[in-house]
Amino acid sequence: MSLRWYSTVIDSHDAAALVRWWAETLGWQIAYEDDDETSLVPGWLDPDTAAGMPWDRTGPGLTFVPVPETKATKNRLHIDLAPHTSDDRDGLVAGLVARGAALADVGQSEDVTWAVLTDPEGNEFCVLSSRDR
């Protein structure tokens, strides 16, 4: 028996708004939406392609669920995003901030090669240095 990483679940107050923020950030598409959860999948993964892919070849998605409580501490799990070497990393970070992200200090030193941010609901994520792999 083997398990497949199916999805990462993100608690949120306004799941509908937050899923749309992440869809725009990643260029992903909403695959499922109801009052209890909304899920994103990679933008290239159209339903017909996904239906024909083997179980173990389909990558994980992101699922957003509404919760009543407020985020209280630093996440123990976070998403790392990486720009391509052809992208303007600092410009991408500035664009995220303009769309509602915020720069965050989680104790990182000043000489790190990544930027720590929070999404509009305060969930931490990082934008790494540019890379081509």
72-91 pLDDT per residue, tens: 888 899 999 999 999 999 99
Question: What is the per-residue pLDDT across 5-46, written as a single tens digit (0 to 9) for each?
Answer: 889 999 999 999 999 999 999 999 998 899 999 999 887 776
Q: Is residue 1 part of a domain?
A: no
pLDDT at 60: 86
- 47 and 98 in contact (C-beta within 8 Å)? no
Q: What is the DSSP letter of 16?
A: H
Domain final position from 37, 66, 95: 66
Measured between alpha carbons, how far is 59 from 31 in angstroms, rounded to an integer? Answer: 13
Same domain, yes or no, for 19 and 61?
A: yes
Q: Is residue 132 part of a domain?
A: no
> How far does the chain reach from its first CA to its final CA, in angstroms?
30
Q: Quote the number of domains for the chain.
A: 2
Strand-pair partners of 33: 38
Mean pLDDT of 94-101: 98
Same domain, yes or no, for 11 and 53?
A: yes
Domain containing 104 equals: 79-127
Return left, alpha or beta for 98; rule: phi > 0 is left, psi -120 to 50 is alpha, else beta: alpha
Question: What is the per-residue pLDDT across 51-70, written as a single tens digit (0 to 9) for each?
Answer: 677 767 777 899 999 999 98
> Tell me, what CATH number does 49's domain have?
3.30.720.120
pLDDT bucket at 4, cuts 50 / 70 / 90: confident
pLDDT bucket at 47, cuts 50 / 70 / 90: low
Q: Is residue 122 part of a domain?
A: yes
Same domain, yes or no, for 56 and 86?
A: no
Q: Is residue 72 part of a domain?
A: no
